[in-house]
Amino acid sequence: MAVVLETRLDWRAVARVAHGAPLVLSDAAVARIETAHRIVGALVESGVRAYGITTGVGALADTVVDRPSQSRLSRNIVLSHACGVGPLLDATSVRAIMAAQVANMAHGHSGVRVDVVATLCTFLEKNGIPDIPARGSAGYLTHNAHIALVLIGEGRAQVDGVSLRGADALAALGLAPLVLEAKEGLSLVNGTACSTGLGALALSRAARLLNWADAIAALTLEALGAQMTAFDAEVLALRPSPGLLAVGATLRRRLAGSGLIAAARGRRTQDALSLRAVPHVHGAARDAFDVTATVVDRELASVTDNPAVAGTPEAPRVFSQAHAVAPALAQALDGLSVAIAQLAAMSERRIDRLVNPLVSGLPPFLATDPGAGSGFMIAQYTAAALAAENRRLATPASLDGGLTSGNQEDFLAHPTAAANKLLAILDNAEQILAIEYAAAAQAHDLIAAPFGHGDTPPHTRAPGTEALHRHLRRTIPPYADDRPLGQDLEAARRAMTDIDVDGV
C-alpha cells in the first residue's frame, strides 16, 4: 500500500517506503511545493543576493552568479558534489534516502519544481535505484548528489536489477532528464535526507531486534534455570524506566508456565548479571530507541534545506541558516549505537554461560559428543569478535569534527557517519543474537535428552519459549558437529530478521 505524504512523514513511513511501498504526494503537498517554486522565481526576478540561488555555495557564498548562469550553477553543483567513493549502498538504503528527500522538499520551503519531486516519487514507485557510493559524506552532500546525477541523465542506476546509464534509466522509467533551474541543484544535494533516511531504516531494524533480544534472552534464562524473582513487577517498579518495565513484562509472559523455571526456583540466591540485568540493559536500549525515534521524527518534520524560502511570490523571503546541520540527530544515533552495542555484548556473555561447563551445568560447549565434538565452542569466539567490533564502532561519530570548504564549513556533526555506524552495529548485533538463539535452542535439546548419571527427568518449556524453539527447529536441526556451524548461524539470523517475533 502506498504511503501518502500529507504534511510530514515519520520514521515508520520512511521505513515502509524503504522496503518497497510507493510514496504519493497529496494535493496539499503539491500546492506547498508549487508555492515555494514561485517564491524562488520571484527572488530571481528581484535580483536579491540569496545563497545558492544568485551566489555560489560554501566558501563561494559571496560570489554573485548572474541570471543566465543560474541553471548552469545548479547542474554544476550536482556534478561537483557527486564525489562519493567505495561500494554502493543497497537498494533499501537508497529508497530511504529518497523518501526523506521528498519529505523535506514537500514542506514547501525548498523552491524546487513539482517535476523534481515527482521524478523522485516515480523512482520509488518503479523501483529505480540510483548508484550511491557508500563512503565520502561528511554530512549529506555526496549521497544526495549521486541521486541528483541520475535525475539529470548522468551517473548510473539499477532498474529491475539492470545497471543502466542515467539517461537510459530515466527512459526505462518513462522520464526525461531534468534541466535544473535556479536553486534546484542545491536543494537536491542539501538537507539531512541521507542521515535521516538511514536513521529511519536503522530504527526499523532496531525495533525488530529489540523484540527478538527479549525473546531470545527468555529462552536462555529458561535453559540456565534463572531466578525469576529478579523480574517481579513489584521489584522492577522500583526503577521507573519504561523500557525496563516493558522488558520485565515480556520475560514474565514468555516464561509463564515453565516447568524448567519452576524446578530451578531457589537453586541460587541470585544469578549472574548477564541474566539478572536483562531488563536493565534491554530496557535502557528501549529507552534510547524512544529518544532516537523522537529525534528522527523531529528531523523529518523539519525544513533542512539551506537557504529556506518563505513568504509569498508577491513578498518573497529567503533565510540563510544552519538547518542542514544535524547535531541532535548525530548524537541520538550515536546514543542508540552504544545501547545496541551494550545489549549485544550482554548477549555474548549469555552465550558464554551457555557453553561454559563450569557454570552451565550442561555438556561442555553444548557438544553432543564432547571431546570428539567442539559444539558451540568457536561460535562463542565469533560472538566475542563481533562484540569487540561493536565496541570500536560505538565511538561517537558526532565528536569527529573536521574543517571543509576553506573554513566556511568549520563544524561538522557527522550524522551520516553516525547512521552508518549504527547500521553496522545492528548487523553485528543481529548475528550475535542469532548465535545466542542457536545456542539456547541447543541447550534446550540437551536438557530434553538427559546426560550423565543421576539426571532427573526433563521439565517442560513455557509455551512462549516452546514457540521460539519450534520456530528455529523448522529451519535448522540440533547440531552434532556434522556440518559447518557457520551456515546454521546464518540461518538462525534469517529466522530472526525475516519475521517479527510477535509472529512466532
All cell numbers assigned to 317:
523571503
All cell numbers assigned to 103:
519529505
DSSP for 305-346, written as a single string = -SSEEEE-SSSEEEE---TT--HHHHHHHHHHHHHHHHHHHH
DSSP for 246-290, written as a single string = HHHHHHHHHHTT-HHHHHHTTSSSS--HHHHTHHHHHHHHHHHHH
Q: Which H or E run includes 24?
A: strand 23-25
With CA atoms as reference, report the closest residue to 440 among 503, 487, 383, 376: 376
What residues are labeled active site? 51
Mark out the alpha helices in 449-484 (DSSP H runs): 463-473
Q: Where are the beta strands (DSSP E) in 98-202?
A: 128-130, 133-135, 156-159, 162-165
Q: How far is residue 359's CA from residue 131's CA, in Å, rounded to a whole number? A: 51
Q: How many CB atoms lie within 10 A of CB 144?
A: 31
Instruction: Give residue for cell 529567503.
Output: 318
Q: How many CB atoms lie within 10 A of CB 499?
A: 13
Q: How far is residue 68's CA from residue 159's CA, in Å, rounded to a whole number? A: 35
All cell numbers assigned to 387:
562484540
N- to C-terminal Cα separation, the chain: 24
Q: Which H or E run includes 3?
A: strand 3-5
DSSP state of 357: H
All cell numbers assigned to 146:
549521486
With CA atoms as reference, report the closest residue to 423 among 415, 413, 411: 415
* Cβ(200)–Cβ(423) below 8 Å: no
Q: How far is residue 152's CA from residue 180's CA, in Å, rounded to a whole number? A: 8
- Using only C-alpha atoms, the chain has a radius of gyration, in whole angstroms, of 26
Amino acid at 104: N
Q: How far is residue 169's CA from residue 160's CA, in Å, rounded to a whole number? A: 10
DSSP for 61-112, written as a single string = TTSB--GGGHHHHHHHHHHHH---EEEEPPHHHHHHHHHHHHHHHTTS-S--
